[in-house]
Structure 1
Amino acid sequence: MLRNTVLEARDIWKGNGRQSWVLHGIRLEIMEGDFIAILGGPAAGKTTLLKVLSFRDAPDQGAVYFEGRLVGRTGARELEQMCSERVWFIDGGLEKEKIQPNGRLAAVLLDEPEREHELPKQIRDLNRAGVAVVLATRNPEVASLAPLIYKLNDGKLEKLTDGEKME
């Protein structure tokens, strides 16, 4: 089955405001139904990457595409709609009301879910229905929930596993 690209990061560079780079030329393609973990230590840039991918922060260099369209070339209202309806960024606890699907959801980006029990059945069900799930964590056990794992280290992304869609 042919899957479409939901989010794509092309050569993303992001600074920390102190004349150093947090993200160094990140390239990442997220397809429908992907379940991806981004593993990295404290201050590795995991949250920064998720914020860029969820349109909450703009890269200093490079581009983010949503369903093939360059983000930043859409109108402000359309971008706001994409953020709230199509791509969810969840930092901290998972609120039950945020997990209710809206029929247009394309991706869920989770920042630091601590343990497996914090990845509720609803998230797994959304993924099985084709919604891309990206979780960022420093915990290898949490990362192992995803069949596709990347490591973020020194601002660079390295693929550790090459998994299939979660069953």
Structure 2
Amino acid sequence: MSRGNLSRLGGMLKIYAESGVKRVNFAYPHALGNARKNRHLLLPRYTELGGCLEALIGAAQEFEVAIDFEAVPFCVIPAFPELVGELHELRGSEKRFTPVHDKTRDWNHARRAIKAKGPGCSRCVYDMICEGSWSEYLAWFGDVDLKPVEQDSPGVQKALEMIVRLCRKGSVPCG
């Protein structure tokens, strides 16, 4: 998801659905290399995503395509916490990656190490399971776009039920 394609994501989803795709992951960019240099052109603020993502969620329901959002914290789509891609990472499955000219590493550990939270995140109902945003997002935009989700917000009960189901399946280490 970038500033250049936000308005076209629904159309892209339609093409995927017509091609038989059943699941799509939309990722917020991790600005490295030239993307970092051109971040003002590439990166939308989280506040710019709200309406776009809600329209995309509606389109996904219409096209019967499952979607989720990577590197989009719970507070950006508080009514749809089950669509936060990192929620599925609670299952703890092993993921490895090998950067060019480097050794193989654990993606779960590396991913958390390059994410950060704002000071207000500790007041959010999702604080213990939310990974936050890419650390550079906070460096460039601050934490003003991160609004703690309250216990009685829409969607919280749905997310908690999902976590309980994962715990019962043994997919999540629950203490």
| TM-score normalised by the chain length of structure 2 | 0.30
* Structure with the higher strand share, 1 or 2: 1
* Structure with the higher helix share, 1 or 2: 2
